[in-house]
Structure 1
Amino acid sequence: MSPVSLREHASPLRVANFRYFFLGEIVNTAGSSMSGIALAFAVLDIDDSATSLGLVAAASTVPMVAFMLIGGALADRLPRAAVLRGCNLIQGTVQAITATLVLTDRAEVWHLVALSFVSGTVFAVSYPAFHGMVPILLPPEERKSGFLLIGQSDALLRIGGPVLSGILVATVGPGWALAIDAATYVVAAVFLSLVRLPFGERPERRTSVIGDFVVGWSFARQLGWVIPASCCALVFNALISGSIYVLGPVVADDTIGSQGWGLAVSGQAVGLFVGTLVLVRITIRRPMWVIMIGFAVMSTPMLLLGTWVNTAALAVAFFIAGAALSALGLAWNLTVQEKVPEHMLSRIMAIDGFFSFVAMPIGQVLVGPLSSQFGIRGVELGSVALCILVMLVGLSVPAIRNLRLEGPRSDLVEQP
């Protein structure tokens, strides 16, 4: 994939359908960038326990995993923009209920567990649908720019979002941040209603969603690299979700507080943004090397959480993790859009999502008891060591190590 000039970088915005999709994503991310921290501290206000926080996080992840494969088949079967619009409306309703319960001091842990379960179920459909959009909105030569524009806008919003969320949590409580997120889902659905796309051909469509999933699974096995790479992501994501996003707020609550944690986490968004600026000029030919090394580098915040908890140092660690995330995300998106035909996109992304997220509930639930047994330092440093080990194992697989990108050619990727 060749370097992109600054003029070419902005060219996708001239495409009306992509522009509406892009605006919807900006609004959605603006709210979502605040909700994670707000929900975490809403749980801690009810029950100051890593176990309770892990249960709420797992309640979202379990249905996300359970329904992801079917969600991918459904997203390939129906118009993806319509699927995303419906998912946004449902998510907005769920978040509005959550915000109301928190703002009225009626929220209990089981309420948040139940609502997180619904949210995770909807995400299982919206995730593969979202990741199948750019290749049908843009021609091959503009897709790298499209992916980078989305990454840069998300990064900018995630710089301010966690900081604002931390301030809101510390001053007026987490409910207001959750209420803002609810409103952004509705606005995003309005933008998605303006996207007009013809429904693509489905040459291998079966009579049922299950049949469509079976076809997609067979294709993933034929590719050879999807399932091994996703298995590695499974372990990486389990470690990151437990050691950083469950233990992290617990550590912060006793040290740097919600504002400090929000400021530190925003460093990841800065790294993500800076990384996407650099990637505009970089050609990626060996995507799996970028992905495996990137995941290992993302363990940097764990190292700090297990050794020296300081807001500035953590912000630097999250900056490094963000830069790594931007590189591995672009590498994966470019790989899928080049190697996978349009009618299979959501199913392949769903398979990746399934393997990536399947171990996350285990990590989220077990990290509390494990930290009680071995201490937070032991869990954090052990997770760093495991990330490095998985990177080495992944790169030892020929299908991962030898995969190369050839660039945007009409004979490699279907035109939308």
Structure 2
Amino acid sequence: MSSRLSPLATPAFRYFFIGQVVNRAGSSMAGVALAFAVLDIDDSASALGWVVAASSVPTVVFMLLGGAIADRLPRAIVLRGCNLVQGITQALTAGLVISGQAEIWHLVVLQAVAGTVFAVSYPAFLGMVPILLPAEERQAAFLLIGQATSALGIIGPALSGVLVATVGPGWALAVDAVTYLVAAVLLLLVRLPPGDRSSAKPSVIGDFTAGWAYARQLGWVIPAASAALVFNALVSGAINVLGPVIADDTIGSEGWGLARSAQAVGVFVAAFFLAKVVVTAPMKVIMVAFVVWCVPMLVLGTHVEVWLLSAAFVVAGAALSLLDLSWNLLVQEKVPEAMLSRIMAIDGFFSFVATPIGQVAVGPLAVAFGAGSVQLGCFALALLVGAVALTRRTITGVRLTGAPPPQLTEQV
């Protein structure tokens, strides 16, 4: 038990960890609340797709530059500023929804701001653990972050569903706004050691170009991220957009919130077993886990009941926990610290670039073919992509050996 909690003995990681737990607690409520806030204004999958896509588009557009910024500046300061802006943005959203003044275009604009900020905060967050902790503590830290935030996420979506059904979605969004601001305050206490930035280029664009060259040099980053592109598009469209629409006609907001919280149960439980797991073929594990992550589509496309959908999300959560651990361990071993955020941003760019397409496309596809058929079609596509990815040597040949990260050469 002590070994799993040992990363908390480091003060900088402890404050960072607490801030992220608080932040994720609010975010676990926001997804359900925003979905039903949109449906209260315009009861259609297309309207919800546009609002969700409004966040995804700027995330994709600015992700690559965001990674260069996060590698160039102190990451704690970057995260602090991002949390502050996101807190203000979510507070405005909550105010509009609670007052009854919210319109779809309001939510589109505010989500676009949030997506732009996320493009910087995402790679900054993913580059924090390696500079806060030594290598032997990092697996425990990754699992601790996932387990603690998922524990709160178990009740977050369910509580959000209850708030939506009683006092309305705006109050859940208001809680999320407060958690962003609390996380920003906690990051004031994080003191980071100076990283090696001797290879930094004169401009952010130069840093981005160097990051792209290094990703190509590694060989496995772009093929893996290209596969993730399809999986993220499928999940964001079929589950995040079409899922609430199907739930609204079957199990309601409370049932949907309970089912989504089950994914956090899967993450939480899986962490106990993964603490002792040694991953040697990370890309193989990641591709299989991606397919398992899509299992809830089978339930949404056939027979929707709360218990069955919840079980599917538990399995998906366990797969997601294994996926995240494998990816983080792979990047920590193969990528120098000074390049971490850029590699994470390149992966994020490819992973999310098709997400808006999935979010916007499911509405018209559901009208044309039926929501259930779209869910089953998306799962079939997930199976196909996973099978093809596992035939690629650049993916199946990647191995973890426990070696320290390579040094960044001046030529990169």
Return the TM-score normalized by structure 1.
0.97
* Unmatched 5+ stretches in structure 1: 1-5
Distance apart, 1:199 and its partner CA: 2.5
Distance apart, 1:413 and its partner CA: 7.8
Match for residue 129 of structure 2? 134
* Unmatched 5+ stretches in structure 2: none
Give the Cα–Cα distance (whole angstroms) in 2 for the partners of residues 411 and 196 of structure 1: 23
Match for residue 3 of structure 1? none
Match for residue 260 of structure 1? 255
Give the Cα–Cα distance (whole angstroms) in 2 for the partners of residues 164 and 265 of structure 1: 11
User: Do structure 1's residue 115 and structure 2's residue 110 form an aligned pair?
Assistant: yes
Q: Which of residues 366, 373, 388 is equivalent to 1:371?
A: 366
Give the Cα–Cα distance (whole angstroms) in 2 for the partners of residues 284 and 233 of structure 1: 19
Q: State the one-letter code of the partner of 1:392.
A: A
Deviations 1:168-203 (A, max 9, x none): 000000000000000000100111110011331112
Deviations 1:31-86 (A, max 9, x none): 00000000000000000000000000000000000000000000000000000000
Is the Cα–Cα contact under 8 Å of residues 84 and 180 in structure 2 kept in the other structure? yes
Match for residue 324 of structure 1? 319
Q: Which of residues 72, 76, 81 is equivalent to 1:81?
A: 76
Q: Which of residues 227, 237, 240 is equivalent to 1:232?
A: 227
Match for residue 169 of structure 1? 164
Is the Cα–Cα contact under 8 Å of residues 339 and 413 in structure 1 kept in the other structure? no
Match for residue 270 of structure 1? 265
Distance apart, 1:276 and its partner CA: 1.0
Is the Cα–Cα contact under 8 Å of residues 70 and 78 in structure 2 kept in the other structure? yes
3-state DSSP of counterpart to 2:189 = coil
3-state DSSP of counterpart to 1:309 = coil
Give the Cα–Cα distance (whole angstroms) in 1 for the partners of residues 53 and 297 of structure 2: 20
Deviations 1:185-238 (A, max 9, x none): 010011111001133111221111111000000000000000000000000000
User: Do structure 1's residue 105 and structure 2's residue 100 form an aligned pair?
Assistant: yes
Give the Cα–Cα distance (whole angstroms) in 2 for the partners of residues 178 and 61 of structure 1: 18
Deviation above 4 Å: which 4+ runs of structure 1?
A: 409-414
Superposed, which structure 2 residues align to 1:12-411 within 5 Å? 12-407=7-402, 409-410=403-404
Distance apart, 1:412 and its partner CA: 5.1
Distance apart, 1:281 and its partner CA: 1.7
Is the Cα–Cα contact under 8 Å of residues 227 and 352 in structure 1 kept in the other structure? yes
Distance apart, 1:7 and its partner CA: 2.4
Give the Cα–Cα distance (whole angstroms) in 2 for the partners of residues 289 and 21 of structure 1: 31
Aligned length: 408
Q: State the one-letter code of the partner of 2:38.
A: V
Q: State the one-letter code of the partner of 1:247.
A: L
Is the Cα–Cα contact under 8 Å of residues 333 and 405 in structure 2 kept in the other structure? no
Give the Cα–Cα distance (whole angstroms) in 1 for the partners of residues 340 and 149 of structure 2: 22
Q: CA RMSD in A?
A: 1.0
Give the Cα–Cα distance (whole angstroms) in 2 for the partners of residues 286 and 397 of structure 1: 13
Distance apart, 1:410 and its partner CA: 4.3
Give the Cα–Cα distance (whole angstroms) in 1 for the partners of residues 54 and 68 of structure 2: 23
Distance apart, 1:16 and its partner CA: 0.4
3-state DSSP of counterpart to 2:377 = helix
Give the Cα–Cα distance (whole angstroms) in 1 for the partners of residues 217 and 73 of structure 2: 24
Aligned identity (percent) is 65
